[in-house]
Amino acid sequence: MATAGKAVEAIGLRKDFGKFRAVDGIDLEVRQGEIFGVLGPNGAGKTTALRMLATLLPIDGGRAEVFGVDVATEPHRIRQLIGITGQYASVDEDMTATENLWMFGRLQGLRSADARATARRLLAQFSLEEAADRPIAQFSGGMRRRLDLAASLITRPPLIFLDEPTTGLDPRTAARCGTRSAAWSTRAAPCSSPRSTSTRPTSWPGASPCWTGGARSPRGHRSS
């Protein structure tokens, strides 16, 4: 594959669960500096495709590269280049918001003081300061979602996968601290604003790209 300027490239990506083909030959190209969205009905295979690109599921057919690195053969390198927020929150119920973010920071190699400072910054960015010391078990669905998004931004990876990032957020909150603006202002490198509604063709049955506009170059990426 020619990789210059590409953040993600997938050709003929396929996933089978037993006899059921969940992803049937996706071709996908996301350029560095783009935000790229995919719309599709329930069950179209969006999460499954994202999980393959993020090395969480084996690829059964076709191939994919992230910043020119083969997803199937070099998953450890891919994991240093990406952040991911799944469709369902992955925070620890018994810990506070600060403790959760601190723990994710430590797991990703930050020193304790840096992890604490990063937690404070992200809690402010996602309007969770007042809830910083409350256990997640007491959080509303939208608050959990915001914390989950914050956790994906701890190490500022050059590429972030977000699966339904605004699900559970009310429109005002989504507009104020949701995906685009929060992810945007957290990026270290300057990017252009997202553009809406790409009409680029895709071979993804039942799904289509919805907007494009911001993965930055991995240069300057702080690997942890």
Q: Which residues bind ligand ATP (CB under 6 A)?
A: 17, 20, 22, 40, 42-48, 87
Residue 198 binding result from ligand ATP, Mg ion, none, given CB thresholds of 5 to 8 Å by partner type? none
Give which of Mg ion, ligand ATP, none residue 43 binds (C-beta under 5 to 8 Å, depending on kind): ligand ATP
Q: Is the CB of 33 or the CB of 45 nearer to ligand ATP?
A: 45
Using the minimum distance from each CB to ligand ATP, give the nearer residue, 19 or 76: 19
Can you tell me the distance from the alpha carbon of 105 to that of 119, in angstroms, rounded to the nearest whole number?
Answer: 8
**76 binding partner (options ligand ATP, Mg ion, none; Cβ < 5 to 8 Å by kind):** none
Tell me phi and psi for residue 177, to 5 degrees. -130, 15
Distance CA 7, CA 187 (A): 15
CA atoms in the 13 A half-sphere facing the CB of 127: 13
Considering only CA atoms, give the Rg of the chain: 17
CB 81 within 8 A of CB 218: yes
- Selection from ligand ATP, Mg ion, none that 42 binds (CB < 5 to 8 A by kind) is ligand ATP
Question: Which CB atom, from 43 or from 220, has the smaller least distance to Mg ion?
Answer: 43
Distance of CA 140 to the CA centre of its chain: 21
Q: Please, which residues have CB within 8 angstroms of residue 197's CB and are 6 or more apart in sequence?
A: 210, 211
User: What's the min distance (Å) between Cβ of 65 and ligand ATP?
Assistant: 21
Question: Smallest distance, Å, CB 53 to ligand ATP?
Answer: 12
Q: Which is nearer to ligand ATP, 88 or 220 (CB)?
A: 88
Instruction: Measure the CA–CA gap between 182 and 184, rounded to whole angstroms.
Output: 5
> Which residues from 39-58 bind Mg ion, rule CB under 5 A?
46-47
Nearer to ligand ATP, 67 or 204 (CB): 204
54: alpha, beta or left? (left if phi > 0; alpha if psi -120 to 50): alpha
Binding mask 81-100 for Mg ion (x = CB under 5 A): ------x-------------
In the bound complex, what is the minimum distance in angstroms from residue 56's beta carbon to ligand ATP? 11
Residue 157's closest CA among 81, 104, 77? Answer: 81
Q: Compare residues 24 and 29 and give the one whose CB is closer to ligand ATP.
A: 24
Binding site residues, Mg ion, CB under 5 A? 46-47, 87
